[in-house]
Amino acid sequence: MFTYQSNTDLKSIAQRISGANRIIVTTHAKPDGDAMGSTLALKRALDHQLDIEILLMGPVTSPMRAIAGTTSWIDAQQQMPKAGEDLVLLVDTGAFSQVEPIADWMRDRHDHVIVIDHHASGDDIGAMRFVDSTAASATMLVKSVIEAMGLPIEGGPGSVAEALFCGLATDTGWFRFSNADARAFSMASELLQTGINRDGLYRTIEETAKPTRLALQARALESIEYVLEGRCAIMQLLPSDFKETKGAPGELPGTVNLPLAIESVDFAVLLYSENGTETKASFRSKPSRELGGDFVDVSELARQLGGGGHVHAAGARVKGPVEDAIKVVQKVLDSLEGHS
């Protein structure tokens, strides 16, 4: 039986990379700050000594394009890299469901795929894996690989340090989430000392929304329903909401977190469908008030729907419209009845 865990160490991965001539680095579809930061950091660190290409599956949001800057990448929807690479580095995921557009391409390359991930669940997608679910971001692991290769981590615009910080900051909610531990703050301190512009990064990533984002968030909040005696807030967005607001799913990051401001809410669920044939479910939960106290592990809820993620942030896809997905999610939530 396959178990998603490390079968190598970062030093061995660094050695494999050092011995390669051509590498393709990729990540999950719709790359977020950690996925983008991890791929950019590797390319920027290695570009001067080997042939390395970034392969992305879109859509790639405007903030992520801005973070990429002049660092080039290939859009898998338009073309695929030429064959003959020595290694494929898959970062910030190890699940076939998250690389669906290139899943067959990945399967054909299993023997020279290396996974570097910080999620607790995944598939047998590569011959080598390093998995550390205690790491706040994948860029933490990428930083260790770069250091193991003896390469410098320099700061400034378009730098390795900037890309690493992008992943760390966004995956910790700008150091507000419970995964922002001492290890994360230590790395942040190191990167800030290189001279990166933290405030500029925040503005580039978090403060570039269009009015349509607020319109979608308003619709989501209007739909809110409190269940499990107020412990859970469920929101939904229908195809009509996207059509009438002219908004897009790419504008939704952070929306599922909004109900967590309510004192009684322990976790929140956002169900949304743009086409009415498939519904995406996002889950977020609060950490416990006390160290070591109870909290809702939303990754377990997502796994019951065929998805996954972290204990406080997870997601899944459900076939069918939102109306059907709500019934499926409700059955999962029923398992929490009676739990404090």
CATH of the domain at 272: 3.10.310.30
Residues 229 and 329 in one domain: yes
CB 48 within 8 Å of CB 149: no
Instruction: Give the C-alpha distances (Å, rounded to integers) separating 93 from 25, 78, 120, 155, 166.
Output: 12, 22, 10, 26, 17
Residue 157 belongs to some domain of the structure: yes
Residues 55 and 73 in one domain: yes
Predicted model pTM: 0.83
φ, ψ (nearest 5 deg) of residue 78: -105, -35
- We report the CATH number of the domain holding residue 163 as 3.90.1640.10
Residue 235: the pLDDT is: 98
- Which of the listed residues 189, 206, 223 is the one where a domain comes to its end? 206
180 token code pair = 């922002």
Residues 59 and 85 in one domain: yes
Residues 169 and 58 in one domain: yes
Residues 290 and 252 in one domain: yes
Residue 337: the pLDDT is: 66
- Structurally, how many domains does the chain consist of? 2
Residue 176 belongs to some domain of the structure: yes
Residue 143: the pLDDT is: 98
Residues 144 and 248 in one domain: no
Residue 139 belongs to some domain of the structure: yes
Please identify every stretch of the chain with a pLDDT value under 70, giving residue numbers as ranges. 337-340
- Which of the listed residues 162, 183, 206 is the one where a domain comes to its end? 206
Distance CA 115, CA 6 (A): 9
Distance CA 164, CA 39 (A): 9
Residue 4 belongs to some domain of the structure: no
- Which of the listed residues 206, 231, 247 is the one where a domain comes to its end? 206
Residues 120 and 219 in one domain: no
Distance CA 208, CA 202 (A): 10
Residue 340: the pLDDT is: 44
φ, ψ (nearest 5 deg) of residue 159: -100, 170
Residue 272 belongs to some domain of the structure: yes
Name the residue with tokens 């619709």: 219
Residues 312 and 325 in one domain: yes
Residue 335: the pLDDT is: 80
Judged on CB neighbours under 10 Å (0-12, 13-18, 19+), 24 is buried
- Angle, helices 33-46 vs 160-171, to 10°: value is 160
Residues 160 and 215 in one domain: no
Residues 138 and 113 in one domain: yes
Parent domain of 307: 211-336
Closest CA to 97 of 336, 332, 317: 317
79 token code pair = 């073309």
106 token code pair = 């990945």
As a residue count, the chain comes to: 340
Residues 223 and 125 in one domain: no
Name the residue with tokens 């479910």: 281
Residues 46 and 175 in one domain: yes
Closest CA to 186 of 206, 164, 201, 207: 164
Opening angle at CA 69, ends 211 and 48, nearest 5: 160
Span 170-205, pLDDT tens digits? 999 999 888 999 999 999 999 999 999 999 999 999
Residue 140 belongs to some domain of the structure: yes
3-state helix, strand, coil in the chain (%, to 5): 40, 15, 40
